Amino acid sequence: MGKVAQKGYTVVPLTVYLKGSLVKVEIGLARGKKLYDKREDIAKKDQRREAEKDFKVKNLY
């Protein structure tokens, strides 16, 4: 719980399974993305959207 209290960390469920009458969850500690990582992902999404849009327009005619 100490790491979760720090900025940028979160608890993520990795797997959920049943064992007898219990439900068990494996958890992991994860760190959020940096700003430059987010910018790269946004740029990739924009490129993909543009390509899909161009493909749709070409197939309409």
Better pLDDT: 50 or 3: 50
Bridge partners, 17 (sequence order) = 24
pLDDT band at 57 (very low <50, low <70, confident <90, very high): low
**Is pLDDT above 90 for 60?**
no
pLDDT at 18: 93
Cα-based torsion angle of the residue sequence 53, 54, 60, 61 in order, rounded to the nearest 10 degrees: 160
Better pLDDT: 35 or 61: 35
Q: How far apart are the first and last CA of the chain?
A: 58
- Predicted confidence (pLDDT) per residue in 17-52, tens digit: 999 999 999 988 888 777 777 788 888 899 999 888
